[in-house]
Every structure is written in C-alpha cells, then in structure tokens.
Amino acid sequence: MNKYESVVIISPAVEEEGMKSLIARFTDLINSEGKVEKVDELGKRKLAYEVKKNKEGYYIIFNFEAKPTLIAELERNYRITDEVIKFIVVRKED
C-alpha cells in the first residue's frame, strides 16, 4: 500500500451538516480498501482564482494509505459530487 495525500475544495454554499456527511462519505470510501491516517479541516479560504463561480471554498486534506486501484474510484467520486469544486490526489514518497 502507498501513502497518499488528497486535497479537496468544497463549495462555500455547503452547510456544516453537509460538510460532515461529505467527509464521512470520503473517509468510508478510503477505509473500504485502505486506511485514513488523518483528516485536516482547514476551513474556508479565499481561492487564488475563481473556480466554478466561487471565490472561496472549504479546504479538507486527507492523509491515507491505499492500494493504487482505489485512487481511480476516489477521483471518480470526487468528480460526480456536485459540492466538490476542485481536488487533487498526490502520492507521497516514503
């Protein structure tokens, strides 16, 4: 299993309740074939440039271990989730 870091930016229109359910959903997905080590909620931040007509977004960072096959499924879930306005998954070096 490899170590990964995923940064997800969520729309500022999402309520706190919706935010918790999104974090739980992504955490459960990662835990299905891997292990979440840490979830950092950085809160609402101003974006460097406008993304999908949003000037700010909620930043969440997932640090986890998973098999490479999980990454495609995780990214697919990010893409089909309307609240996610931007994301990136990076493999961390050992």
Domain locations in the chain?
2-91
Work out the average pLDDT over 4-16.
93
End-to-end distance of the chain based on CA atoms, in angstroms?
A: 11
Give pLDDT, residue 93: 84
d(C-alpha 56, C-alpha 48), whole Å? 9
Question: How is residue 46 written in tokens?
Answer: 């101003």
Q: Which residue has the tokens 């490479």?
A: 68
- Please name the fold of domain 2-91: Alpha-Beta Plaits (3.30.70)
Q: Look at residue 1 and tell me whether its pLDDT is greater than 90.
A: no
Q: Look at residue 73 and tell me whether its pLDDT is greater than 90.
A: yes
Please give the model's pTM, rounded to 2 decimal places: 0.90
